[in-house]
Amino acid sequence: MKNEVQTQVRSKQCKKKKHVIDGSYHESKNIYNTDVILYDESNKILAVFIKDYIKLDEEDLSGIREMISKNSLLSRLRGASAGPINTDLPYFNHYKSGEEVKATRKIKSISGHNAKFEEGKMCINNPVYSSAHGYYEGKDKGLTKGKGNRLIVKSQKLDWGMLKKLLRQLDQGYSEYVPDVWEHQYLTAQTGMNITDTCFSTLTFNKNFRTACHSDKGNFKEGLSVMPVFEVGSYSGGELILPEYDVGFNVREKDLFIFNPILKHCNNPMYESEEDKKKNDTLGLKTETPYISGDEYRFSRLSIVCYLREGLITKE
Distances (CA, A) of 211 to 47, 108, 227, 238, 293: 18, 24, 14, 9, 11
CA 67, CA 84: separation in Å to the nearest integer? 29
Tens-place pLDDT, residues 121-131: 789 999 999 99
| pLDDT on residue 127 | 95
Q: Tell which wins on pLDDT, 78 or 104.
A: 78
CB 261 within 8 A of CB 219: yes
| pLDDT on residue 250 | 98
Answer whether residue 150 shows pLDDT above 50.
no
Answer whether residue 144 shows pLDDT above 60.
no
Tens-place pLDDT, residues 4-45: 566 567 899 999 999 999 999 999 999 999 999 999 999 999
Distance of CA 313 to the CA centre of its chain: 21
CB 208 within 8 A of CB 220: no
For residue 97, name the pLDDT band (cuts at 50, 70, 90).
low
| pLDDT on residue 316 | 52
| pLDDT on residue 6 | 60
Answer whether residue 140 shows pLDDT above 50.
no
Q: pTM for the complete prediction?
A: 0.91
Tens-place pLDDT, residues 169-181: 999 999 999 999 9
CA 149, CA 15: separation in Å to the nearest integer? 40
Mean pLDDT (the chain, rounded)? 89
Helix, strand, coil distribution of the chain in percent, nearest 5: 20, 30, 50
Answer whether residue 306 shows pLDDT above 90.
yes
Instruction: Give the residue extent of every domain in the chain.
Output: 4-83+130-312, 84-124
Rounded average pLDDT over 80-104? 82
Q: What is the CATH number of domain 4-83+130-312?
A: 3.60.130.30
CA 66, CA 63: separation in Å to the nearest integer? 5
CA 50, CA 36: separation in Å to the nearest integer? 7
CA 95, CA 105: separation in Å to the nearest integer? 7
Answer whether residue 67 shows pLDDT above 80.
yes
